């Protein structure tokens, strides 16, 4: 207790000795000295939580429910939250006011959720779009063809235009599901593959093609200057 003298508003305590001083009384006295009747505690925002989850591609597109384990001074709590459909790789979602409790009238904290997508065996996501590799035979690429390709809803027939080159991007429009139906495309990246071994008849046909074809893929390559 501060026993030496009574403290009035605006007056700092006179401390003749440090004996018998209670820190709480001292701080209270300092507060009265500044504010006259005591100082209100400052509002403090509650703690923000940052956490990450890994979703499958299907869950990210359809939406899913996940449980978040949050640990703070009050202990551990589990929050079950619904992740909205159409989340993307590296997306950050914020759940306002669901973090730690604010103090002295301060707002509650937020939860920040970092989304990671688990690798998919076929598709590579880019935003809401999906990419996959489409291997074609040389004759499918040259003549055009209808080939079965995967989508998240099952296989569909994709028309390959004649003269398709390796590296070309073919789009299956609006193959997203549900809420993503008008926002998401699937792209096939064409890769022309060749057989590593040929039967005799195949070899003969390729040799015949080589003989009669005038196609030269290096025709536009600038000639190297020998000097």
Partner 1 sequence: MSQEQTQQWRSSDNLDTISLTELSRCCGLTEDELDDLVTYRALLPVSPATPERVFSAQWVMPLRNAAKLRVDYDLDMFTVAILLDNLTRIEILERQVHSLQAQLPSHLRSDLSR
For residues 25 and 48, which CB has a smaller minimum distance to partner 1 in the complex? 48
Q: Which of 43, 127, 161, 195 binds partner 1 (CB under 8 A)?
A: 127
Cα–Cα distances in Å, from 66 out to 48, 79, 84, 100, 115?
Answer: 18, 8, 11, 19, 12
Residues between 47 and 106 with contacts to partner 1, criterion CB under 8 A:
63, 65, 78-84, 89-96, 98
Q: Quick check: 64 and 54 in contact, CB under 8 A?
A: no
Which is closer to partner 1, CB of 29 or CB of 110?
A: 110
Asked if residues 161 and 141 have their Cβ atoms less than 8 Å apart, the reply is no
Residue 61: C-alpha distances to residues 123, 130, 154 (Å)? 13, 11, 15
Least separation in angstroms between CB 181 and partner 1: 17
Measured from the CB atom, the residue of 29 and 57 that comes closer to partner 1 is: 57
* C-beta of 31 vs 107, nearer to partner 1: 107
Binding to partner 1 by CB under 8 A, coded x per residue (else -) over 142-181, reads -------------------------x-x------------
Question: Of the two residues 9 and 119, which places its CB atom closer to partner 1 in the complex?
Answer: 119
Phi-psi category of residue 216: left, alpha or beta, with phi > 0 → left and psi -120 to 50 → alpha: beta
CB of 61 to partner 1, least distance (A): 14
Give the shortest CB-131-to-partner 1 separation in angstroms.
Answer: 5
CB of 95 to partner 1, least distance (A): 6
5-44 residues in contact with partner 1 (CB under 8 A) are none
Q: How far is CA 124 from the centre of its chain?
A: 13
Decide if 93 contacts 87 (C-beta within 8 A): yes
Q: How is residue 10 written in tokens?
A: 């605006």
Among 107, 145, 147, 185, binds partner 1 (CB under 8 A): 107
The residue (of 28 and 81) whose beta carbon lies closer to partner 1 is 81
Number of residues forming the site for partner 1 (CB under 8 A): 34
Are 90 and 65 spatial neighbours (Cβ–Cβ below 8 Å)? no
CA neighbor of 168 nearest in space, from 176, 178, 177, 158 = 158
Do 169 and 181 touch, CB atoms closer than 8 A?
A: no
Q: Is 28 left (phi over 0), alpha (psi -120 to 50) or beta?
A: alpha
Cβ at position 130, least distance to partner 1 in Å: 8
Provide the binding-site residues for partner 1, judged by CB under 8 A: 45, 63, 65, 78-84, 89-96, 98, 107, 110, 112-113, 124-127, 131, 133, 167, 169, 187, 189, 191
């Amino acid at each position: 207790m501060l026993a030496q003298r009574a403290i009035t508003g605006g007056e700092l305590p006179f401390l003749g000795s440090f004996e018998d001083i209670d820190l709480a009384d001292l701080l209270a006295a300092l507060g009265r000295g500044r504010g006259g009747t005591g100082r209100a505690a400052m509002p403090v925002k509650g703690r923000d939580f940052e956490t990450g989850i890994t979703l499958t591609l299907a869950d990210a597109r359809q939406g899913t429910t996940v449980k978040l384990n949050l640990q703070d001074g009050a202990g551990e709590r589990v929050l079950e939250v619904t992740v909205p459909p159409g989340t993307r790789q590296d997306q950050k979602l914020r759940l306002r006011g669901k973090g730690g409790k604010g103090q002295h009238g301060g707002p509650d904290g937020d939860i920040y959720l970092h989304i990671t997508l688990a690798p998919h065996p076929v598709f590579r996501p880019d935003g809401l779009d999906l990419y996959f590799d489409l291997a074609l035979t040389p004759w499918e690429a040259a003549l055009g063809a209808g080939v079965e390709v995967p989508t998240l809803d099952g296989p569909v027939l994709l028309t390959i235009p004649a003269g398709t080159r390796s590296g070309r991007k073919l789009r299956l429009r609006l193959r997203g599901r549900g809420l993503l139906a008008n926002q998401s495309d699937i792209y096939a990246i064409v890769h022309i593959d060749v057989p590593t071994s040929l039967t005799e008849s195949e070899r003969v046909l390729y040799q015949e093609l080589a003989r009669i074809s005038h196609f030269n893929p290096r025709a536009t390559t600038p000639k190297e200057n020998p000097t």
